[in-house]
Amino acid sequence: MKYGQNLWRANWPALSLALMLALLLVLAPSAALAQDSDGDVTPAAADGKINNNILEFGVWWVEDYPPAGAGGSDLPATRPDALGLRDYLTSDCKTRIFGICFTNWSSPQWTARFVYGNTSAWSTDWRRSANGGSENSYIDTIDLAYFAGHGSTSGIIFGVGSPTPVTVSKNDALNSWGDRDLDWIGLAACNVLDDPVSNLQGWGEAMNGVRLILGFKTVMNDVAHGVEFGKAIRDGYTFTQAWFRAADKLQSQNRVARVLAEQQAYFDDRPAQHNANTVVDWPKYYLTHAVGSEPARFVDAAAINYQMPVLKVQPLSLDESLKQADTLGAAFGVTVSVIISGEIVDIASSLGGELEMDVANGLFLHTDTTNLWKTESELSVMAASGAAMQAIDNNAAKRIADAFLQQNGLTREDAQFFEVATDTLTTMDQVVTASGETVVTLDERITNYQVIYSRIFIYSPSVSAGAVTQPVEFSVMGPGSKFKIYVAAEAPVSASAADLARPAAQGGAVLGGMGGYRRLQVNPQAAAGGQVELVSMLPETTITKLFQHLEKHVALDLIPLAPQYLVGREIVSMTPAYWEGPMGFGQTELIPVYALEVKNTLSDTENLGSTYVVSSTTYIPVEPGLMAPLARISTTADLNAPVAPGATIVFEALDASKTLVELGLDPDPSQDPLNFVLGSGEVTYTWYLNEVSDETKLGTGRILNYVGDPTKDFEGKDGGLGAQRIVLVVEDTGKDSEPKTSQAVVTLQSVPPLYLPAVQR
């Protein structure tokens, strides 16, 4: 996902000097990697773990999966995902003004021990020695291990260049994770912590000192999850809160995040617990957080003549943004400081980061860090102390949320109540029966409610005189369309109805919320034919063809499913809707899309011959001009051979101004021909080495003549290690709204992979 440029930049020259001094310029964390530890460790602690006083972590990411080739990366966001986490954890300052650090992070700086991507990311780093691995020399020598790549209930899946088998299964980790130093594991991968309970039981049996495994029950989008995860950790959130908050900000509908804990109290872990004693036993516990909201409501594309209204966005003015930030601060009981960030997006935020608001459009997210997703919350302490508490049910939660929104002026006319969802805590225990059989028991309780509202755009199509038509209800999907209020599962009996509709810190039951919606230039409840501009839609058959053959080029939310395990995909339903991106996504209109509900069948590697089904939702713009430009690289070079010193390798970008038929990307032009370009067709091509920056720029134009230099690895350091990434960035200069930039990546091996001990990598 490419975030757009912030919209306050145009207002900046008009700000007075006083206001400029009141605003804090927050620079993105330095990309410089912290110094590696020398590897020395202190003696084992009481629990047998090797601990030291250094917070250490490692990141592993995989972009390229078999078959290796020049078609572009399979998971383009995994690199910014992992390196974004690295950059935030190693950042030495939160707020700088003219190079001077004015605000430090709430939690300590970390040291990066391992930063391995693509051909340097090996499954053996995570596998126990009995199964041919060396996890005791890698992930179990650090406090936090993070993986970004493909996953399934079978495990996490490594890619090109990894030793085989590439999947790290539950058995590969059995009784091994955490017996030396490892405390926390983050898995930015699909379905690893999915049901059934036998899967969760297996991962629980892998925990032998690991305090938390953070992952997803469902599929997840290919986004930079680690950026938001790392930022929240440094802002003082617990690991659980940071994981769920990142999912709320970046994931679309129908996603479910999950955290597996060794002990219930470990859900509240922060970095300070890296030297804490870890008790390993049963039961285990898991928290489940539903990110999603209402599925897209069905609209018959033929009934609207394959035309949808163009919904232009009306950005907030500077004064409106300041007032909205104050309104949100008062509603949630926090003090807001206006912060300007030139790297990603302009954000108004509380100093502790509990509340964030995108100043361009008012999207907000607030988390009560004392009570939400905490086992030791103030509310729990009150209940344990004998204070009289009242249970809150679904109906009461809705009343509380409605009242909170109304009394704080946060209601939206295009928001319709959908449902009250629950986040749950499950106790998972192993019990031996009288016959000697081990069975798993589950005990689930509600930790909090989510009162969810759907954004609905109502439109009345143009009709001929005398005809009667029903208004059409379009769903708005995507991370920016989520609108929900978090409500506690219980509150003091003494609290009145008015009290309950206040933040928990003020004696109420509100634990946070997210919403805002981008403001539209048309009335969302009174749009009628003849009053709005319309966009023509591709037919469903063409969208199906794009999904089947070019999904990663056209989908707004890429779902990373491992291709080697994918048996089949079936579109279950397809309906027109709109898509609204997360904070910082620079869209000038809500993007008209088809929402595709997809049934994915995958092979079960743990039960050979069996398959299982995973559901996902994909969003594809309804018209080619709304899609990102095509970025694809071709080359005659052997990408499986090491780079020859001094050899010239020719890379060519496919001509993004040509139609897909002309480029040979339509497998059957006789049926629903893809006789169009993606985007406007007005594009530029820029080439980079390893990463996109002014310092790494290699050239412009469709052709790149690259002289091989095997002394440069994937981080641009000398030593002949790892691989080189050739990055192509294609920018659509004919558009002013995202998505207008695409990337393609090919990986060149600097040296043949060597599967040797850690010191020889």
Bridge partner residues of 589 (DSSP): 312
Span 427-441, pLDDT tens digits = 999 999 889 898 999
pLDDT attached to residue 257? 98
- Using CB atoms within 10 Å of the CB of residue 204, give its burial: 0 to 12 exposed, 13 to 18 middle, 19+ buried: buried
Residue 124, both tokens = 């053996």
Residue 743 confidence (pLDDT): 92
Residue 753 has a pLDDT of: 46
Question: What is the tens place of the pLDDT at every residue in 556-606?
Answer: 988 878 777 889 999 999 999 999 999 988 899 999 999 999 999 988 877
Residue-level pLDDT at 213: 99
* C-alpha to C-alpha distance for 48 and 39, rounded to whole angstroms: 18
Average pLDDT rounded to a whole number, residues 172-191: 97
Which domains are present in the chain? 1-30+318-360 (no CATH), 45-290 (3.40.50), 293-315+365-624 (no CATH), 633-760 (no CATH)
Q: What is the pLDDT of residues 627-654, one digit of tens each?
A: 999 999 998 888 777 777 788 899 999 9
Q: Tally helices (H) and strands (E) across the chain.
A: 10, 38
Distance between CA atoms of residues 443 and 528, nearest Å? 51
Residue 721 has pLDDT above 90, yes or no: no
In angstroms, the CA 344 to CA 26 distance is: 10
- pLDDT value for 6: 31
Tokens 């904070």 identify what position?
583
pLDDT digits (tens, 9 = 90+) for 40-76: 333 344 454 666 788 999 999 998 887 655 455 688 8
CA pair distance 56, 110, nearest whole angstrom: 6
Tens digit of each residue's pLDDT (9 = 90 or more) over 92-128? 998 777 788 888 898 999 999 999 988 889 999 999 9
Q: What is the dihedral of CA 340, 341, 344, 348, to 10 degrees?
A: -40
pLDDT, one tens digit per residue, over 279-337 is 999 999 999 999 978 999 999 999 999 999 999 999 999 889 889 999 999 999 998 87
**CB neighbours (10 Å) of residue 525?**
12
Mean pLDDT score, 182-209: 97
Spell out where 622-675 has E strands: 633-635, 648-653
DSSP code string of 511-544: EEEEE----BSS-TTSEETTTS-EEE---HHHHH
Nearest 5°: phi and psi at 667?
Answer: -65, -20
3-state DSSP helix/strand/coil % of the chain, to nearest 5: 20, 30, 45
Angle between helix 225-234 and helix 239-250 axes, rounded to 10 deg: 140
> What was the pLDDT predicted at 720?
36
For residues 654-683, average pLDDT: 96
Q: Is the peptide bond before 492 cis (omega within 30 degrees of 0)?
A: no
The pairing of beta strand 527-528 with beta strand 438-460: parallel
How far does Cα 34 stand from its chain's mean position?
24
Residues 437 and 434: their CA atoms lie apart, in Å, by: 7
Rounded-to-integer distance, Cα 72 and Cα 667, Å = 18
- For residue 603, what are the β-bridge partners? 611
The pLDDT value recorded for residue 86 is 97
Average pLDDT of the segment spanning 351-359: 86
599 forms beta bridges with 570, 615
Mean pLDDT across the chain: 86
Residue 624: pLDDT band (50, 70, 90) is very high
In which band, very low, low, confident or very high, does the pLDDT at 30 lie, cut at 50, 70 and 90? very low
> How far, in Å, CA of 316 to CA of 738, rounded?
18
The tens digit of pLDDT for each residue in 520-568 reads 997 655 555 556 789 999 999 999 999 999 999 999 988 878 777 889 9
Q: Round to whole Å and give the CA distance between 748 and 119.
A: 9
Binned at pLDDT 50, 70 and 90, residue 21 comes out as: very low
Instruction: Give the position of tokens 């930015």.
Output: 188
Q: Tokens for 271, please give them.
A: 């970095």
The answer on pLDDT for 608 being more than 80 is: no
